[in-house]
């Protein structure tokens, strides 16, 4: 009789345990599915960073801490004595604390199909100076965009970052 009683207790214990585990799995699945449907995936777009929006963009970046973040270290305005000469103050650094190597293109703000310069890859901790445009410019002030391409060790693009740049060609 004791044996039957112990077997019955064991069966009840196993059944109760199975029901509890199944209920917990069901709750977890429900919560995961309902959370995904309530929070639609945000569409991520490139943003041009300007002096006016830099603070809000930095706040957003603090919230999104991912592999592939990039700290921009460059002059916001580049000067050229002539449109076909090397800039005397253009500097771009890929600081050692960044997570990836990078290269960049400089395009005209109003016509991004017009690429003025294509940089070589700048390794973490590297610095690029003595920049001259591939496409000479006439004297004047130009609103440009620097498009940074963060790359992995195989030079596959992980993400991009867009930064406003003012170019002044003096003569």
| Paired strand residues for 80 | 169
Q: Choose from 9-23, 27-41, 81-95, 151-165 the range with maximum mean pLDDT.
A: 81-95
Distance (Å, whole) CA 17 – CA 101: 53
CB 94 within 8 Å of CB 126: yes
pLDDT in tens, 52-84: 777 777 666 554 434 556 787 898 999 999 989
pTM: 0.61
pLDDT in tens, 10-30: 777 777 777 777 777 767 776
| Paired strand residues for 159 | 150
Q: Percent of the chain having pLDDT more than 90?
A: 37
pLDDT in tens, 91-119: 999 988 888 899 999 999 998 898 999 99
Distance (Å, whole) CA 148 – CA 2: 77
């Amino acid at each position: 009789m004791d044996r039957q009683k112990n077997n019955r207790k064991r069966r009840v214990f196993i059944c109760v345990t199975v029901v509890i585990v199944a209920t917990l799995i069901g709750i977890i699945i429900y919560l995961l599915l309902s959370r995904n449907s309530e929070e639609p995936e945000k569409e991520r777009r490139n943003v041009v960073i300007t002096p006016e929006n830099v603070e809000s963009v930095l706040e957003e970046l603090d919230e999104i801490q991912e592999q592939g973040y990039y700290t921009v270290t460059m002059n916001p305005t580049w000067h050229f004595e002539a449109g076909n000469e090397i800039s005397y103050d253009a500097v771009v650094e890929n600081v050692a604390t960044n997570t990836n190597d990078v290269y960049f293109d400089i395009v005209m703000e109003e016509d991004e199909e017009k690429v003025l310069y294509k940089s070589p890859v700048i390794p973490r901790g590297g610095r690029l100076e003595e920049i001259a445009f591939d496409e000479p410019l006439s004297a004047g002030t130009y609103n440009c965009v620097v498009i940074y391409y963060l790359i992995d060790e195989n030079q596959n693009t992980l993400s991009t970052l867009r930064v406003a740049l003012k170019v002044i060609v003096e003569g």
